[in-house]
Amino acid sequence: MSDEPKERVITFRVTDEQYSRIDECGFNAGCSANEWCRDLAVSESSQDFGMTANERIMIEEIVVLRKMLGALAAHILSPEKLEELRENVNQYYREYARQVLEKRATGKLEGTSLNAVLP
């Protein structure tokens, strides 16, 4: 941490179980629970896009899968069909997500088909 004066205070409440886990993390890192939380918050807040480490990992994994699927599709589909698929996905990605989230909320995700939007 820098030697710059710290004048702002952030407080939050946690359960006993959460505190125990945080305290253990601090102990394992050689600092107090408060120092550990501060270091984590400062570190995470300095990252691009304001995401947690787990959110960044998920986004990175999705990007890698998208890249791999794109490469696979390029080998399977003709250039015209691949471009048609890309245009369709770019146009309807919000609708695809809405359909999946809606079905997940109702517990009807099994056998989900997005054909309603696909050409």
pLDDT value for 109: 60
Q: How far is CA 54 from CA 21, 39, 46, 50, 61, in A?
A: 18, 17, 15, 12, 11
pLDDT value for 9: 92
Place of tokens 């809405």: 98
pLDDT value for 61: 93
Against a cut of 0.75, is the pTM above it?
A: no
pLDDT value for 11: 93
DSSP string, 40-80: HHHHHHTSGGG--HHHHHHHHHHHHHHHHHHHHHHHHS-HH
Query: Where are the domains positioned within the chain?
Result: 16-46, 51-76, 78-119
For the four alpha carbons of 108, 54, 28 and 4, in that order, the dihedral sign comes to negative
DSSP string, 93-112: HHHHHHHHHHHHHHT--TT-
pLDDT value for 26: 95
pLDDT value for 113: 57
pLDDT, averaged per 10 consecutive residues of the chain (119 residues), comes to 82 96 95 94 80 84 91 92 90 86 75 52
Contact 22, 33 (CB under 8 A): yes
